[in-house]
Chains A and B, each alone.
Chain A
Amino acid sequence: MAGLTTSFGSGAMSNSMDDIADFARAILVIGSNTTEQHPVFGTMLRRAVRRRGVQLVVADPRRIDLVDFAVLHLQQKPGTDIALVNGLMNIVLEKGWEDRTFIAGRTEGFEDFRETVQRYPPDKVAEITGVPVEQLYRAAEILALQKPMAVIWAMGITQHIVGVHNVMNLANLQMLLGNMGLPGGGVNPLRGQNNVQGACDMGGLPNVYPAYQVVTNPESRRKFETAWGVPLPDKVGLTATEMIPGVLQDKIHALYILGEDPATSDPDSGHVRKCLDGVDFLVLQEIFPSETSQFADVLLPGVTFAEKEGTFTNTERRVQLVRKAIEPLGQAHPDWQIITDLANLMLAAGERQPVDGTHAGWQYQTPANILSEICALTPSYAGISYARLEKGERLQWPVPNSDHPGTPILHINKFARGVGKFAPLEDIPPAEIPDDDYPMLLSTGRVLYHWHGGSMTRRSAGLSAIYNQALVEVNPEDANRLGLKNQDRLRVTSRRGAIEAEAWITDRVPLGVVYANFHFPDSSANELTIAALDPIAKIPEYKVCAVRVELVQSPES
């Protein structure tokens, strides 16, 4: 998000899934385990390879399933993505494959950028990344000469201390090759949660109101002060990764948490539990008694997606309807109604009273009323309505007015910030790298059969039947050295904690790397992960930390 905003002025997936599947001639998937994390888009990529012969290059430290469909697998060492992409761009420049018209007409900062990239010749990059020189040449050739080429990534790129720089470097690559603003190209970060795009669009962020109107910009602030009828704070708030530790720093005294489970999903779970334990008051609005609920003072029963109406915005900025299938169970209430009731109680109590706001009240009868207010204050959603969605219109923001057909591809002819900005970027090693005490590297993520903290999928009978406990992936050579066999119990220890889980000996992971998930609280990878943050986006480095691995016991012993 922050990375693309710097490069282009707008931080969202630039293209649509169907145009990538239908028009790309080459695709670079880097740091996305698409077939497990965005499975249906993963099948679209498989179909593109099979039906149209798209040249797929996968860059991932692990041999993920999508590698079976790739012409080339670049198995870079974790945390070396900047060097890898700089290396590919170095070759593009060496061969003269850059799109000079695009660079001249639509970008700035090319000279500084070129200077930096020239310091990453293939042999140096091969040494940093572990990717052989000939593979670098082959990848550069495919990605540069097959046009349009789409870049797709996910958390494998962003969950590093250099996450923002990683993203900006992929923006560099696409500007260099002139792949922006056309079908089958673009920069395509896949958003994880069903409505993470919408939560960002709606101002669920400490620095922006809806539609990324910045809270420190006096004009934006005045707009929302006029709408809501109260003076608004002028400084950026805390991120989730600052808020929770803020409890022990005496900054945060109360937390209102809607449907999130920081005790499972945040890094360094041990520390998170200490923080949640120390907060004066925690109100949690949830559907299940999650790990976080142990620390809650009040538990408000919200509902699942089947019990309410509203809209979700998918990874390609497409707004879609959520329709109520059943009445809320028990005494649970739709979440919009709970927030509304709580707001009305607080406003009635008096201390902070809106005066004359155009949208100050909380008299919502239906989610459609709320969407009308959103449209009035959110320029990119202005033309969206339930009526248009019910008609089946394809509405991808920006949709500036009710006659506008939506915007399936961003950055056609012009970037949001005018010209695209090349950024010279240097390789920086991860915050914690293996040493004598913690000699192996841990990377983390999710598996096909479970979702995030697992509070939904562990309660799904069939999903649990197929995948019922955490498995830690270990390379066969490492396993041999450690005396580990399939199904052995192993212990993984980092400077922050330890977990025990079952070993899965597999060449999906390279030598020296183990991979674990955080779906099961008893053996969650987040007991181990490091809360080292990207300095700009405050994303934790989930993908790299140093660990020690040892055998606990074999099943037969």
Chain B
Amino acid sequence: MSVNLTVDQKKIQAQAGQTILQAARENYIDIPTLCFHKDLSPTGNCRICMVEVAGQRLLQAACVTPITEGMQVETRSPRVVQSRKLNLELMLANHPQDCLTCDVSGECELQDLAYDYKVNVPAWGAKGTRYLPDSDPNPFIRVDMNRCILCRRCVLACAEIQGRDVWGVAQRGFEEQIVAGAGTTLLEARCESCGQCVAYCPTGALSNKLNYGLARAHQVRKVMTTCAYCGVGCQFDLLVKGNRVIGVSSNPGAPVNGMALCVKGRYGYDYIHHPDRVLTPQVRRYLLEGRQKSRTGSEWDWVKVDWQVALQLTAGKLASTRSSFGADSIGVLTSAKCTNEENYLMNKFARQVIGTNNIDHCARL
């Protein structure tokens, strides 16, 4: 059933049961939000999406107010703008003035709104920090509650996306704060370190430790790709600076997983640049010097060689094994970590080039 209403003097139609925010956004009318996220239950607690509804004495939160027939809504009236400015001023009054050094500057929703509404930090704001910065020992998630605006997206992301209920709200009024468990560390509160809370945090209250201080949003290139751990096939953005992967961030367009990732997918990428990486072809000395195989002393030492040498020695050995013992004396193990294209080539290599069906991988293991 459709409902007719007027938003900013524009007549629109929307589905019964929708909120003012949903109806407006479907009709390309932008209402700013902060605590709202389309994946999470709306709570109406940040008061940024306030709009004026004809006949209502008080401003209404667009994210939780259902539309009604004939409703008249103003999303940008002077009264609305004044209210948003005041709310932003109150938030900034209780927010550290550290955008210059904050890691999420450039992708902070509070910063964007302050810019849009030209709100400055008020002179009467709180001085100094109230909480210990970097207050939790979790190896991945950096917690700085000074930057928290109490929007509760982290609480909802943990409860509704991850189903883990690690974050909660403690105290009241100015003392209100977000806490893990009953005021414990994240890991003690059974945190699985998936980082969903970080992905949904609109400010720098929750950020990533592994790449803290390495780059800001405008300094990285984002490359959407598919995770290389389990078979779920989550997609995400690799954050690249120079020729280095410095992080992973959720890509809301990921078809299987949306914003959700697990601890390995989001934080298990640093093996890519680990110093143990094998970066040069190498062969055992005995092989390079054309002697009998020997596993003793310097004969078994690795010698770094160029690609041509390594590949020619390998091709020669495989060919001579085939001549001496037949194609079925060679076994090929392909890899469930590699791409389809590479697995196809391994299958073609074993069957066409070597001439054996001895090919398998770890599907059984």
Contacts and interface: CB of A to CB of B under 8 A. Distances in A.
A associates with B: yes
A291 B162 CA distance: 35
Contacts of B332: 255-258
Given A43-B162, A463-B264, A253 B276 contact: no
Nearest to B323: A351
Nearest to A542: B365
Contacts of B335: 199, 258-260, 335
Given A301-B281, A319-B340, A204 B359 contact: yes
Nearest to A215: B357
B330 A336 contact: no
A38 B272 CA distance: 22
A203 B363 CA distance: 12
A254 B331 contact: yes
A298 B310 contact: yes
Contacts of B276: 288-289, 459
Interface stretch (B65-73, B107-115, B176-184, B221-229): B221-229
Contacts of A43: 161-163, 194, 260
A224 B351 contact: yes
A466 B187 contact: yes
A321 interface: yes
B240 interface: yes
A29 to B, nearest CB: 14
Interface in A220-270: 224, 228-233, 235-241, 243-244, 246, 251-260, 262, 265-266
Interface stretch (B9-17, B123-131, B282-290): B282-290
B46 to A, nearest CB: 24
B314 A283 contact: yes
A460 B270 contact: yes
Nearest to B357: A237
B31 interface: no
Contacts of B267: 460, 462-463
B226 A236 contact: no
A71 B304 CA distance: 59
A545 B17 CA distance: 58
Interface in A296-315: 297-302, 304-315
Contacts of A206: 357-360
B8 interface: no
Given A202-B347, A259-B335, A461 B270 contact: yes
B321 A280 contact: yes
Contacts of A542: 365
B232 interface: yes
Interface string B318-360: 1101111101111111111111111111111111111111111
B307 A331 contact: yes
Interface stretch (A84-92, A108-116, A338-346, A508-516): A338-346
B304 to A, nearest CB: 9
A332 B340 contact: no
Interface in A199-226: 199-207, 209-210, 215, 224
B296 interface: no
Contacts of B132: none
Instruction: Kindly state the interface size class of chain A when it binds its partner.
Output: 35 or more
B347 A540 contact: no
A430 interface: no
What DSSP secondary structure best describes chain A's contact surface?
A: mixed
A310 B314 contact: no
Contacts of B312: 345
Interface in A29-72: 37-41, 43, 46-47, 49-50, 69
A552 interface: no
A522 interface: no
Contacts of A349: 315-316, 319
B27 interface: no
B192 A196 contact: no
Interface string B262-274: 1111011111111
B228 A305 contact: yes
A448 B263 contact: yes
Contacts of B356: 233, 237
Contact of B282 (A299, A347, A373): A299
A258 to B, nearest CB: 5
Contacts of A309: 339
B238 A325 contact: yes
Residue with the greatest number of chain A CB neighbours at <10 A, chosen from B255, B257, B302, B363: B363
Nearest to B306: A331
B314 A298 contact: yes
A391 interface: no
Given A288-B277, A352-B355, A243 B333 contact: yes
Interface string A314-329: 1110111111111101
A360 B352 contact: yes
Nearest to B326: A253
Contact of B263 (A239, A449, A456): A449
A196 B347 contact: no
A555 interface: no
A287 interface: yes
A445 B322 CA distance: 37
Contacts of A203: 343-344, 347, 351, 359
B235 interface: yes
Contacts of B256: 17-18, 40, 314, 318
A537 interface: yes
A10 interface: no
A343 B329 contact: no
B133 interface: no
A392 B255 contact: yes
A73 interface: no
B140 interface: yes
Given A193-B363, A204-B334, A205-B359, 13 more contacts: A196-B362, A201-B340, A233-B351, A243-B333, A266-B365, A298-B282, A298-B314, A310-B338, A310-B339, A326-B240, A331-B307, A336-B341, A460-B264
The 3 A-B pairs at the shortest CB distance, nearest first, are namely A330-B279, A314-B233, A310-B339
